[in-house]
Amino acid sequence: MKRSRPMAGSLQTVLAALQALPWSQRCRLRVQPWEKGIHVQRGGMHAFVSPLDNENVVVGYEQALHEGASEELTPEAATPFLLRVLWRERLCRVEVADTHGTDPVAGGADGRDMDGCG
């Protein structure tokens, strides 16, 4: 029987932050932890969080049809960035700078009025 390895500490930090979101945001997300990362989905928007050896994580997402993008972030910065990616209304690249000092779900807990596409 194959034993699964414990989830990396950086992924546990991201997962805990996602679980700590208010219910009005959390209920709209599908969060699937895996041995090598966390897959998060909101409607048609998907993102994957993977650990790095330096305790940071990589958030990968689709910025255009069949065109991926990724950002290396600290676990603490990954959750606001991840929410910006997931609450986009259309595919686009999300800049890391967009996540600093802003509410990741601008427009309220229901995510309305947030595009994330600068």
Return the pLDDT at 106.
47
CB-CB contact of 47 with 29 (8 Å): no
- Provide mean pLDDT across the span 34-51: 95
**Of the listed ranges 5-14, 16-25, 73-82, the one predicted with least confidence:** 5-14
Return the pLDDT at 103.
52
For the chain, the domains span: 9-96
CB-CB contact of 52 with 72 (8 Å): yes
Give the single-character DSSP code of 59: E
